[in-house]
Chains A and B, each alone.
Chain A
């Protein structure tokens, strides 16, 4: 019996990993950032984030991007596209094809999103406000060949349960992006909700493989050297899960709060004049994005 107790104790001791510092060395908000003032938020519509899982060596991906661009053109600023470059096979640089396809658009945050929500259908695929469209395992993803215009349109007339507005600026001397989001609860919320900040870079010119079908009419099939990569996710500023800001059942309609986030840009190839910050609030339980906002970085 004694030997058995020792065995179990050893088993217990060696089968547990206690993590003291979950975030490692992550920076939360830089003290150089200054909180802005926000005008009253008069928005009454629900914005829609379309996350496009893509890769520059994915020949069908321009077709998905074109479909999203068309929807955004038809609906307007309620649509917030985010291009998430994932999957080594399609998004990793390929040294054998130098000088083509040498930029790495993959990000740790993007890979986390793909792991948590995607990873099933393949590229290109999209998520609309992370609504649990299909049953497990392909819960959130929609294949780009499935027309999703109607699903987007079903959301744009929704009355938002929470409102959000964002201001962001870039301090060149510190290569620092500062972002602040003001949230306002518009409806009693039963579940916990979190806020996520994303840093995007728009209109990056780089290589793209294209099948020639379904994409922008002005591109030809093959390796495109000057493809315009729109709204590319560069950084999940407060990691892809964000921070819980609303506790279910304990919020009141009209509750307002301001949430900060910042990021020091270390990549010299990024163009701050093309930076955008997207912030969104999602339901922790269903993962559905309830409201989102995109601000250009000034």
Chain B
């Protein structure tokens, strides 16, 4: 079947390149391979791996010629790296498509990714690091019937590893950019975009105890307004009864609202987001768990961190079953100030010789203020809740400040402070842990020896609050990183994480990890060795647990 699909695709590509010879054909793509050799390490809890060595790899090959494009992604999981979803096993074509655009219509057959609005009603996307791929497989049509009017229609099934989920997803989305409707509107400073979507899934009723809805529809409306540096937008979505394993098969309708606002001017930016989500898990297989066959995506309203300790120990995973969340962000550039030389010709001390960048971010996610339905046995409505009303229970909060500036033409630093509250029971599904309160300091210092060579240090410290009512968890951590770069070809890095505050003295472990990388034109090779701590890896509020491991990793990425 897969061979047939590949053969058909190649013949389509060949035919297209033969018949469309007026424009130059192009083939481009990229390849990535990650191979890890595992050592069992009982101290950190790294399990023995029967295969000793595991490999993830993929190659994207895309063909374009004029208005036609087609491509495949060949994927291998032999077997999947530890922590990757176990469903990825073997080798095959994970993605293939052909697309053509003519007279305002774009038609795609095969796999495609798509998003309606903010994604709360439909978002098919791939996040390779998470092993997340809910690509649609079917048909998509995009049509631009009038100036400023954009329509989309999708119809297909969703990818579930190397197979498909049982549900059928169909949806339409329309967007009108009001300013594009006429020349007079186009001259206005205020720009307004309106949009609306409808999505429905079909899955047969496979339950003999409950009467399940086989067609579950959802609908959304959105508006975005822009004027100068100011923007304000929002989207509201509702979903009809959708009993599933995620919501314990209740028939309550789902709903969600997100409001974004932002203002920016030279040297200053501020944004604020508010969101409420109530029973909005929406999958094309009601019995699935983990990150499988989600039709929609709940946008994250927390800042995604990049430094090791704040990014991997206590990151927040969005709760599709219900949350009320807020985020505010302010960034400011303190401009440099030039001072005249002293009368004796010496340079005066100048604290503001270089510009300073300051950013402050705060986010919080609360439980829904809800009341269990006393008659749930009969109604299966689960609970009642007041719209946009947060409960006292805080799932997560994060206050962080970043200060960035140059010290000299060759040296610069970034200092960051984070204070997090993390409901471990809820976010990690533990029992009897509690809320962790962590304070994290990160100092990042870079020194450039010359235009090619630079040295970067990172020092990080995480301390958990030991006082009640907080849960100490693993206690304090310290992390150090040294990275030496010789541009454009080489980099060397050594990282050590040490859990010196663990109450269990046998767990006061150093996680030493070294890596060497070489980049030559479009190819990048990385070799690394050492211990990797168990943690949580999140992208955009979607997370997966990464188990501890010890071993050698080789990575190759290449583009053409």
Contact = CB atoms under 8 A, between A and B. Distances in A.
A complexed with B: yes
Interface of A: 1, 4, 8, 11-12, 14-19, 21-24, 26, 28, 108-109, 111-112, 115-116, 134-137, 139, 161, 187-192, 194, 236, 238-241, 243-244, 247-249, 283-287
A8 B172 contact: yes
Contacts of B460: none
B87 A112 contact: no
A22 B432 contact: no
B432 A188 contact: yes
B85 A284 contact: no
A146 to B, nearest CB: 14
Contacts of B245: 116, 287
Given A134-B86, A137-B87, A284-B248, A19 B426 contact: no
A28 B425 CA distance: 32
Given A18-B240, A28-B377, A191-B429, A12 B217 contact: yes
B380 A22 contact: yes
Contacts of B208: 108-109, 111-112
Contacts of B431: 161, 187, 189-191, 283
Interface string B350-387: 00000000000000000100001000111110110000
Contacts of A109: 208-209
Interface string B250-262: 0100000000000
Interface centre among A1, A16, A109, A247 (most CB of B within 10 A): A16
A244 B213 contact: no
Contacts of A249: 367, 393
Interface residues of B, number: 55
Given A11-B200, A23-B378, A115-B287, A240 B241 contact: no
12 contacts: A11-B170, A11-B172, A12-B198, A15-B170, A16-B213, A17-B215, A17-B216, A112-B207, A112-B208, A135-B85, A248-B426, A285-B429
B151 interface: yes
Contacts of A247: 372, 383
B210 interface: yes
B212 A243 contact: no
B282 interface: no
A17 B213 contact: yes
A49 B425 CA distance: 24
- List the 5 closest pairs (A to B, CB-CB), nearest first: A108-B208, A15-B200, A190-B425, A239-B209, A135-B86
Interface centre among A17, A240, A241 (most CB of B within 10 A): A17
B41 interface: no
Contacts of B215: 14-17
A116 B287 contact: yes
A116 B243 CA distance: 13
Contacts of A286: 429
B151 A4 contact: yes
Contacts of B146: 1
Given A16-B213, A22-B211, A249-B367, 6 more contacts: A15-B170, A23-B209, A23-B378, A111-B208, A161-B432, A240-B209
A72 B9 CA distance: 57
B243 A22 contact: yes
A199 to B, nearest CB: 14
B206 interface: yes
A197 to B, nearest CB: 12
Interface string B400-433: 0000000000000000000000010110011110
A21 B211 contact: yes
B450 interface: no
A283 B426 CA distance: 12
A189 B430 CA distance: 10
A238 B206 contact: no
Interface in B504-560: none
Nearest to B173: A8
A119 to B, nearest CB: 9
B251 A22 contact: yes
Contacts of B85: 135-136
A26 B249 CA distance: 16
B432 A244 contact: no
B206 A115 contact: yes
A139 B87 CA distance: 11
Given A11-B200, A15-B215, A161-B432, A192 B248 contact: yes
Interface centre among B209, B249, B367 (most CB of A within 10 A): B209
B219 interface: yes
Contacts of B290: 135-136
A24 B209 CA distance: 9
Given A135-B86, A137-B87, A244-B376, A22 B287 contact: no
A187 B432 contact: yes
Contacts of A241: 209-210, 248-249
A89 to B, nearest CB: 17
B310 interface: no
A190 to B, nearest CB: 3
A136 B151 CA distance: 36
Interface centre among B174, B380, B430 (most CB of A within 10 A): B380
Nearest to A139: B289
B214 interface: yes
B240 A244 contact: no
Nearest to A190: B425
A136 B292 CA distance: 9
Interface centre among A12, A111, A243 (most CB of B within 10 A): A12
A16 B216 contact: yes
Interface string B76-109: 0000000001110000000000000000000000
Interface centre among A4, A21, A22, A112 (most CB of B within 10 A): A22
Interface centre among A188, A190, A236, A284 (most CB of B within 10 A): A190
A16 B378 contact: no
B375 to A, nearest CB: 10
Contacts of A17: 213-216, 240-241
Interface in B471-521: none
B382 A244 contact: yes
Given A15-B215, A19-B213, A286-B429, A194 B241 contact: no
